[in-house]
């Protein structure tokens, strides 16, 4: 949940930028590229990666209630929707960079969609999912998952910069 607090802050800034664009402000491509990097790396690969790859994997082994199973599937679907929205922001930004001024409205709309979506998504995870799910784990299981989360984070940094190296070599 600590990660949620940073995600909320960045998403809030993204929402403000969407409003600024809607009010006629210029598109700050560097801001958008950095926001996309944050969402893809921190929010999706790091945070959602731990949820989907570790927590959800371990929960799938437990006799969850039908409601919790349904919520877990819906949360995964929302993660996919977030990825799709980020791809739309990137696509609209590329169109804008090629001179398509009409893409500004799409950029602002998709950024605003994320700003509206994430607070609700986070609230649902925290209030309706995470706490009820914790009762399915022993202290030892929770500690094991926490250690796996830490290892996941450490590996992610190396993975990101190995990918950067590969991209740099293409030039």
Interval 108-135: pLDDT, tens: 999 999 999 999 999 999 998 999 999 9
Q: Do 93 and 32 form a contact (C-beta atoms < 8 A)?
A: yes
The confidence score (pLDDT) of residue 36 equals 96
Does residue 37 register a pLDDT over 90?
yes
The confidence score (pLDDT) of residue 171 equals 78
- Residue 105 CA to residue 155 CA, distance in Å, equals 37
- The average pLDDT across 14-36 equals 95
pLDDT band at 168 (very low <50, low <70, confident <90, very high): confident
Q: Do 46 and 156 form a contact (C-beta atoms < 8 A)?
A: yes
Residue-wise pLDDT for 45-102, tens only, equals 999 999 999 999 999 999 999 999 999 999 999 999 999 999 999 999 999 999 999 9
Does residue 155 register a pLDDT over 90?
no
Name which CATH class applies to 2-169: mainly alpha
Report DSSP state, residue 63.
-
What's the Cα-to-Cα distance from 28 to each of 14, 15, 130, 170, rounded to whole Å? 11, 13, 36, 26
- Residue 143 CA to residue 147 CA, distance in Å, equals 6
What radius of gyration, in Å, describes the C-alpha atoms of the chain?
A: 18
The confidence score (pLDDT) of residue 109 equals 97
- Predicted structure pTM score: 0.87
The confidence score (pLDDT) of residue 2 equals 82
Q: Domain limits of the chain? A: 2-169
Does residue 166 register a pLDDT over 90?
no
The confidence score (pLDDT) of residue 138 equals 95
- The average pLDDT across 156-161 equals 81
């Amino acid at each position: 949940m600590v990660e949620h607090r940073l995600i909320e802050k960045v998403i809030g800034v993204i929402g403000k930028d969407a409003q600024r664009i809607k009010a006629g402000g210029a598109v700050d491509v560097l801001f958008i590229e950095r926001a996309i990097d944050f969402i893809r790396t921190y929010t999706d690969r790091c945070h959602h990666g731990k949820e989907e790859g570790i927590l959800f994997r371990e929960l799938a082994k437990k006799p969850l209630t039908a409601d919790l199973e349904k919520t877990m599937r819906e949360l995964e679907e929302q993660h996919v929707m977030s990825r799709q929205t980020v791809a739309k922001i990137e696509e609209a930004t590329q169109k804008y960079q090629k001179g398509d001024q009409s893409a500004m409205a799409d950029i602002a709309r998709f950024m605003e969609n994320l700003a509206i979506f994430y607070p609700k998504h986070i609230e649902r995870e925290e209030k309706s999912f995470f706490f009820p799910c914790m009762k399915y784990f022993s202290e030892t299981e929770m500690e094991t998952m926490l250690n796996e989360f830490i290892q996941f984070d450490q590996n992610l940094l190396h993975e990101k910069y190995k990918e950067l190296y590969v991209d740099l070599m293409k030039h």
